[in-house]
Amino acid sequence: MTSTLSLQRLAWLARSFLLLILLSVGLLTALPNTALAAEASPPVDSAALAKAVVAMEQLDQMRTSLASMLEGRSEEPTIETMKEVCKPVGLRAIAIGKQNGWQVRQVASKYRNPDHAPAGPQETQVIDLLELHPEITGLWEPAGAGESAGVTYYRRINVEPSCLACHGTKASRPGFVAANYPNDRAFDFNVGDLRGLYAVFIPELQEALADSLAEVS
Ligand code: HEC
For ligand 1, atom 32, the nearest C-alpha belongs to 195
Ligand 1 atom closest to 162 (CA): 37
Closest residue by Cα to atom 40, ligand 1, is 163
Q: Are residues 32 and 77 in the same domain?
A: no
Q: Do 116 and 195 lie in a common domain?
A: yes
Which candidate, 212, 199, 89, 206, places its Cα nearest to that of 145? 199
Is there a single domain that holds both residue 209 and residue 102? yes
9 with 68, same domain: the answer is no
Dist CA 161 CA 196 (whole Å): 16
Total domain count, the chain: 2
Do the Cβ atoms of 159 and 167 come closer than 8 Å?
A: yes
How would you write 154-215 as a 3-class SS string?
A: EEEEECCHHHHHHHCCCCCCCHHHHHHCCCCCCCCCCCCCEEEEEEEEEECHHHHHHHHHHH
Pocket of ligand 1, beta carbon within 6 A: 63-64, 67, 70, 82, 85-87, 90, 106, 108, 111-113, 116, 157, 159-160, 162-163, 165-167, 177, 186, 195-196
- pLDDT bin (cut points 50, 70, 90) of residue 31 is very low
pLDDT band at 175 (very low <50, low <70, confident <90, very high): confident
C-alpha span between 108 and 117 (Å, rounded): 6
Cα separations in angstroms, 67 against 84, 85, 86, 156, 163: 8, 6, 8, 17, 7
Which residue minimizes the CA distance to atom 41 of ligand 1?
Answer: 163
List the residue whose alpha carbon is closest to atom 36 of ligand 1.
163
**pLDDT at 187 > cutoff 90:** yes
Does position 34 have pLDDT exceeding 80, yes or no?
no
Q: 32 with 82, same domain?
A: no
Residues 60 and 97 in one domain: yes
- 193 with 108, same domain: the answer is yes
Same structural domain, 30 and 85: no
CA 180–ligand 1 middle distance (angstroms): 13
Q: pLDDT class for 144, splitting at 50, 70, 90?
A: low
Span 185-195, average pLDDT:
97
Q: Provide the domain limits for residue 81.
A: 46-216
Calculate how far, in angstroms, residue 96's C-alpha sits from the geometric centre of ligand 1. Answer: 18
pTM score over 0.85: no
Please tell me the residue having the least CA distance from ligand 1 atom 31.
86
> Quick one: 89 and 138 in the same domain?
yes
Taking 50 as the threshold, does the pLDDT of residue 19 lie above it?
no
Average pLDDT over residues 1-26: 45
Q: Do β-strands 194-203 and 103-107 pair in parallel, antiparallel, or remain unpaired?
A: antiparallel
Q: Whose CA is nearest to atom 13 of ligand 1?
A: 86
Atom 34, ligand 1: residue with shortest CA distance: 163
Same domain for 55 and 7, yes or no, is no
Share in percent of the chain as helix, strand, coil (round to 5): 60, 15, 30
Higher per-residue confidence, 48 vs 37: 48
To test the pocket of ligand 1, the residue of 63, 76, 85 to mutate (highest count of ligand atoms within 8 Å of its CB) is: 85
Give the integer Cα–Cα distance in Å for 91 and 115.
12
Asked if 124 and 205 sit in the same domain, the reply is yes
Tell me: do 33 and 114 sit in the same domain.
no
pLDDT band, residue 38 (cuts 50/70/90): very low
